Structure 1
Amino acid sequence: MPPRLLLLTVCLSLSNVLSANGRTVSDRGSFQSVSHSAKGVSAAHKAQWDYPPAYRNTSSVEVLYGREVADPYRWLENPDSEETKEFITAQNKLTASYTGQYKYRKEAKAALTNMHNYKRQSSPARHGEYYYITRNSGLQAQSVIYRDRSLSFEKQDVFFDPNQLSREGTAALATSSFSTTGRLFGYGTSYNGSDWMTLRVRCAVNFLQCRSGEDLADEVRWVKFSRMSWTSDERGFFYTRYPEPSTEQGGPGTDTGGNTNAMLYYHRIGTPQSEDQLILQDPEHPNYLFASDVTSDGRWLVVTVSRGGAINKLWVAPMNQDGSVPERVEFRSIVDDFSAAHGVIDSDDSLLYIMTNAGAPRYKIVTYDMNSPEAGFVDLVPQHATNVLKDAGIFADNRLYLHYLQDVKSILNIHVLPTGQKLRQLPTPVGSMSGFRYKRRNHELFFQMSSYLAPAITYRYDVSQDTVSEFHTTVVSGFNSNEFETKQVLVRSNDGTQIPMFITARKDIKLDGSNPALLYGYGGFSISLLPNFSSSWAFFLRHYNGVLAVANIRGGGEYGELWHGGGMLTQKQNSFDDFQSAAKYLSSQGYTRPARLTINGGSNGGLLVGASINQAPELFGCALADVGVMDMLRFHKFTIGHVWTAEYGNPDNEEDFEYLLDYSPLHNVRADRAYPAVLLTTNDHDDRVVPLHSYKLAAQLQYARRDNASPLMLRVGVNAGHGAGKPTEKLIEEWVNKFAFMALSLNLSWAL
């Protein structure tokens, strides 16, 4: 089992700011119209856009630390009001009327659908007497779990099909976990993209008077951000839930109330949820999050306690000798402060194997003996001199795999326990690794490799033979990867820091500035952007002769915790500087020019796009901000937003308020600057980064820059959430609209 560190990705919304210097945030001034080149926008729309009127409550002003902060669109924070619904309808109608003009819309949808229509599957996993694999035939709304007793999967049968749960395909498998012997399958389903899920249990074999494939009567509700961690006696599982939201906060997926007071429970099979055993809560710290796991021998319950972000406390409690849960669970504190990140990989008797960045910003493996706590952490595999440890696990009894990043490219080392000695580095192609599947007692390890030009190739490492073999190769129709190549370059940021960036384009590309380019970034929460295949990106390369650039900016985890820390809290501006430097590089090197460059990011990456169009709109011709965090003064007031204060800071603290205000997308909309074409996308059931962020920013942009030559628009998806579990058809439709918006705004040529 890999170390369980609870990391939440996020995006927020903006608040109303009109001044050029960010110091006076009241909207009582007037706006000047400025000239701007149309950047390819059709002549019919150069003068002024017919944006839907949106009421401005000019009396909605707060005085915060001596500043007047206007928030005239706060009424959009109520998702259930008729006024908000009318606003959404009008915005969607305007955006649809614009993107509907795209001459090649039908061709684009057909080509993008074809690009998505390829068979893809996960790495296989062994549970009990079966191998399980998740597959999508191409255009299925949700992927299906198959199983077979043999790795050949010649006699496979369907084990779990989420497509049967909803006619619209909006029901998704949000989490799943097999019991120790593989006899029971716990799963959580969510609807319409909401983070709320309901947990159930299915028999994988004939067991407990339940036939294979049938569900038990158990149902556990109001669960969020949780695994199902089975006890080794298979009598139940641990999970994290929140109090049921009040009706005033809206229904599941549309609620905006704060998710606080998390509780860790144990559910016993065959009993109602009302009888579940409360394991852990902390009313004095309502913002704490709890993530649980049980070691493979069933001896220890491991709980990480976090406030969001990438650091956590580490508590461990012993289970009974038979693997059952004690009447009173007694936790022992291994780490009781928020100074570093720690995750238990597994245990041997009293010895815990832990992955940590305590004193090691690139992470290392240590041991901790529960019988000798005074010894503390003992290094097993020290921090590497240059590479960053991203993942670790124990399989085949005593083999430890370590997944490292070497300049944002994956390598895989095999070590042996108990010494930690390195045995070998497995031979793998250049790319990124994911999808590790293994068991402590099984002799095989499965993993996948992918790149910007190749989807997943699944590999099997057999310890008994010490061989690596290719298990499955994914093939995409309509895309010849041999026509393209990926290069990694270094970009010099404002402070001299070298930022890596991957650029993928045709091999015969002419560096004359004429190429359309798509620049993607994230830069937050220690999340690394690794080489990965995307059908939508491949579509852009193929049908627009585009250039794809992915910048590994600070705030991510590509070079460890120091890289993350260089783009968070008071250093967040570094992320924006890095991204804007990447845009300048693409133009200066002839890959594109500003009028042909589109920037894109989602969630925290949506914040990145929102801040960049305020700070340097002249660098881009088009901006696509998805489910973004835009209001940096109120993000912590909605659903799970309070945990993001560990990454961004707390707006209720004056020091944090000052720097958050300086870059908050909503509060820094400029009346005296021309903006590129902007499309904000969000979804009506996003209860992680609630859609009000995008609503308010769209209204503010349209008011402040109504005479902007390029369109400033909003698209709101229906019955969809932050992104996870989104049906394939909705994904395709969303990207068709984004490409139509981009192509119209930049006059892009369509290539058959």
Structure 2
Amino acid sequence: MHHPRIKLALATLSLLAPLTPFAAGQGAAVSAPPVAARKPVVDTYHGVKVEDPYQWLEKGDDPEVRRWLQGETAYTRALLDKLPSREAIRARLTTLLSHESAAHFALWQRGGTLFALKSQPPKQQSFLVVLPSVEDPSTARVLVDPMALDPSGRTTIDFFVPSLDGKKVAVSLSKDGTESGDVTVYDVATGKPLPGESVPRVNGGTAGGSLTWNADGTGFFYTRYPRGEERPPEDRDFFQQVYFHELGTPTAQDTYELGKGAPRIANYALSTSEDGAYVMAILGNGDGGEYALYLRPQKGTWTQLSRFEDKLVSAGFGQDGALYALSRQDAPRGKVLRIPLATPSLDKATVFIPQAEASIDGLLATATRLYVTEQLGGPMRMRMVGLDGKDLGQVPTQPVSSVGRPTRLGGDDVLFGSTSYLEPTSVYRYSAGDGTLTKTALGRTSPVDTSRVRVERVMCTSKDGTQVPLNLLYAEGTKRDGNNPTLLTGYGGFNVSLSPSFHVLSFAFIEQGGVVAVANLRGGSEFGEAWHTQGSLTKKQNVFDDFHACARLLVEKKWTKPARLAIEGGSNGGLLMGAALTQHPELFRTVLAHVGIYDMLRVELTPNGQFNTTEYGTVKDPGQFQALYAYSPYHHVKDGTKYPSVLFTSGENDPRVDPFHSRKMVARLRAATRSKRPVLLRTNDMGHGLGTPLSETIAEEVDVHAFLFNELGMKYRPVSR
């Protein structure tokens, strides 16, 4: 099942956020932060005058902004570098994050060859390998290693796509967290790049990027941003289209395929049927979850299969001459349509799997069956349906776990990853013939003993009565005496679900006596499209109410108290942090806000902010403006309020959330707060977090945890194991 890419990174516990290059011990003796001047600006929206005293901080290249930012960095380093137990914390987190057990992900079999991205500390970046055996990872052959191309560790693989015969692979590489990826084609047998085969800016931080090969591997369809003077500078991150590149020809001669007349905020996901007969393009209208499907025979022209209003959200090719599409038309939890490729039309579609209790997340068609992954409010499962419509039961996965996208192995056998709160991702082989599930050697081992950690799932009642799941992780024997240091995280947006996942740094907190809480908020996909829409556009406040209900329950049930409650989130989850601390400042002791959005009235002036309008709304619409203004964190900071301590992080090269949000929020919050608690800004020259080198990830987490432990009054106890 090919899903268009979610462009706002998930913010779960211990988010690997952008990191600063500064090392501990470099901080000077700085006693006070720089003062950001108030420069009154008034903007008018639909007759409403809105003051914006720190709008000048939006100009990242302005010398005055750079001087202020340098002062902020010096002040932040001075405070963070003198926090207690830094070196003990550094030692523990380095052990956890440098665990040498390899992870294999993005598995893809083509032409009998199995490809994967491999992550193996102390390597700074993941690298592309070929796997002759799923039982012996040591046989892996490295195809593309970003560290060999760039020893600085600042180059990363955005994505890769093998040709149908597995003899060539197209790889997108970007630098410095920009996500601006150029594609190079490699020969799989030799590992060498094909001479002259480089296509610029296939991937980007706004519309993402995608690529798919033609039947015989002589060329590929790819996403193309405007080049040169085709568009004015302000349009060069927009108007993505689909082009075709024939190997051996200059990319300037690539031919247009699709996209004229599409929205300015178009983004595409491309795929090819296993036999190479058809190519599919899924057009996304920004990031709000609206999609249109286009189909093209290899020797033919594009036809539009669905429109945004038809609510087909994804599709995959069957091996029986049909297309299987996930539809949410009159089925918010999803139904599967079967569309004959001989006569591809919604008029010819039949309901293959009707809507049921679980929410359908995705599907994969193999020789004689469909594998269907489903959401159960956070936990997931995978079931099977024969192409004859017969129910074939479930794949026997763990009851409270996540299930990754399966990979075809041949026939009806598949590989897939699965993880839980207490176990790192394992890669399983499901053999359809005898129904056996086998754990392969491709999964990770855990650097911590989780046998004494308990997982509990409770329900919280939101403001409007909605029941919101909250997942708790804590050490066996933890007392509910209202005194446990607790870290609550959430996301709530873009149809992204926070399914069970193993976050090793959760245990760095739990082993110090902490409780970790993960909220399944509206705005995600945990209970289908209705759950998403109840937390988007003008209903976004529901997300913040859900989060407040979770925090309130933690206090009422005596898991913790406000003086020992911290919250963390990033990106869209950073917006959640901003709303939580401005709406309920009395409820939290400290806030960890990574690469977040805080000025909801000016976010759409940035390139990726325009893609977000289909999720958040636009100030151009009076009703949506009122909703945005009603919760915009920057505009709801109140002078004289006792705010919690806050650590903001941002990346100067972030293509998804402009760092001006963090700059403005820090300036406004620090000027307003009446508490003596610190408000810190930690910035860097990377991006949104993707492609961050391992060494900088460790440096970031040392700062975050030293700050967190100190603010919650936790005396760090060194852990030897």
Q: Secondary structure at the match of 1:216?
A: strand
- Note closer, same or farther for the CA distance 1:245–1:484 as it changes in structure 2 (3 Å cut): farther
The runs of 5 or more residues in structure 1 that have no matched partner are 13-47, 206-210, 251-255, 321-325
| Cα offset, 1:521, TM superposition | 0.3
Match in the other structure for 2:18: none
CA distance in 2, matches of 1:131, 1:290: 25
Once the two structures are superposed, the pairs formed by residues 83-122 of structure 1 within 5 Å of their partners are 83-118=64-99, 119-122=101-104
* 1:667-706 correspondence to structure 2 within 5 Å: 667-705=635-673
Instruction: State the one-letter code of the partner of 2:8.
Output: T
Alignment partner of 2:167 out of 175, 180, 183? 183
RMSD: 2.3
Q: How does 1:377-392 map to 2 (within 5 A)?
A: 377-384=349-356, 386-392=357-363
| 1:201 maps to 2:185 | yes
Contact kept? 2:127, 2:157, Cα under 8 Å: no
Counterpart CA distance in 2 for 1:721 and 1:126 is 31
Shift in Å, 1:578: 0.4
TM-score (norm 1): 0.88
- How far has the Cα of 1:247 moved from its partner? 14
Describe the shift of the 1:355–1:234 C-alpha distance in structure 2 as closer, same or farther (beyond 3 A).
Answer: same
1:658 to 608, 614, 626: 626
Q: Which has the higher contact order (CA 8 A, sep 6+)?
A: 1
Letter in 2 for 1:56: R
SS at match of 1:122: strand
Residue 125 of structure 1 deviates from its aligned partner by 4.0
SS in 2 for 1:482: coil
Partner of 1:710: 677
Q: CA deviation at 1:197?
A: 0.6
In the alignment, which residue of structure 1 is the partner of 2:314?
Answer: 343
Partner of residue 117, structure 2: 134
Aligned partners of 1:155, 1:370: CA distance in 2, in Å? 40
Give the stretch that moved more between structures: 95-104 or 514-523: 95-104
Pick the aligned partner of 1:143 from 118, 126, 130.
126
Cα 1:318–1:284, aligned 2, differ >3 Å: closer, same or farther?
closer
Which residue in 2 is equivalent to 1:53? 35
* 1:171 matched to 2:142: no
Which residue is equivalent to 1:575?
A: 543
1:125–1:437 Cα contact (<8 Å) kept:
no
Say whether residues 1:293 and 2:274 are aligned partners.
no
Kept in 1: contact 2:186–2:194 (CA 8 A): yes
**Which residue number in structure 2 is paired with residue 72 of structure 1?**
53
Distance 1:11 1:136 in 2: 19
Aligned identity (percent) is: 30
Give how far 1:82 is off. Answer: 1.9
Structure-2 residue corresponding to 1:368: 339
SS of residue in 2 equivalent to 1:695: helix
1:730 aligns with 2:696: yes
What whole-Å deviation, never above 9, does each CA across 1:22-57 have from its counterpart, x for those lacking one? xxxxxxxxxxxxxxxxxxxxxxxxxx9822122322
Alpha-carbon distance in 2 for matches of 1:214, 1:282: 32
C-alpha spacing 1:159/1:182, structure 2 compared with 1 (3 Å)? same
- How many Å separate the matches in 2 of 1:293 and 1:531? 28
The structure-2 alpha-carbon separation of the partners of 1:258 and 1:529, relative to structure 1 and needing over 3 Å to count, comes to: farther
Cα distance 1:247–1:677, how it changes in 2: closer, same or farther (>3 A)? farther
- Structure 2 distance, partners of 1:277, 1:349, is 31
Deviation at 1:442, TM superposition (A): 4.3
Q: 1:137 to 1:362 in 2, by over 3 A?
A: same
Structure-1 residue corresponding to 2:379: 409
Partner SS, residue 79 of structure 2: helix
Q: State how far apart, in whole Å, the 2-side matches of 1:523 and 1:357 are.
A: 20
- Contact residue 318 and residue 365 of structure 2 kept, 8 A: no
Structure 1 515/564 Cα, relative in aligned 2: closer, same or farther at 3 Å? same
Aligned 1:220-619 pairs, distance under 5 A: 220-223=199-202, 224=204, 225-244=208-227, 259-283=237-261, 285-308=263-286, 309-320=288-299, 330-348=301-319, 350-372=321-343, 373=345, 375-384=347-356, 386-395=357-366, 397-417=367-387, 419-439=388-408, 441-472=410-441, 473-477=443-447, 479-542=448-511, 544-619=512-587
Which moves more between the two structures, 126-135 or 587-596? Answer: 126-135
Cα shift readout 1:683-740 (whole Å, capped 9, x = no counterpart): 11111111111111111112222x432111111022x211222111111111111112
1:504–1:549 Cα contact (<8 Å) kept: yes
Q: Does 1:8 align with 2:13?
A: no
Relative distance call for 1:548 and 1:284 in structure 2 (3 A) is: closer
How far apart are residue 152 of structure 1 and its match? 3.3
1:253-284, CA deviations, whole angstroms, 9 ceiling, x for partnerless residues?
A: xxx97722112111111222111111123357
User: Per-residue deviation at 1:566?
Assistant: 0.9
C-alpha displacement at 1:581, in angstroms? 0.8
Shift of 1:67: 1.9
Q: Aligned AA for 1:175?
A: F
Deviation at 1:212, TM superposition (A): 4.2
- Using the TM superposition, give the Cα deviation of residue 248 of structure 1 relative to its aligned residue in structure 2, in angstroms: 14
| Aligned residue-pair number | 690
* Alpha-carbon distance in structure 2 between the residues aligned to 1:499 and 1:104: 37
Structure 1 window deviating more from structure 2 (337-346 vs 633-642): it is 337-346
- How far does residue 5 in structure 1 lie from its aligned partner after superposition? 3.1
Q: 1:83 to 1:144 in 2, by over 3 A?
A: same
Q: Give 1:346 deviation, angstroms.
A: 0.6
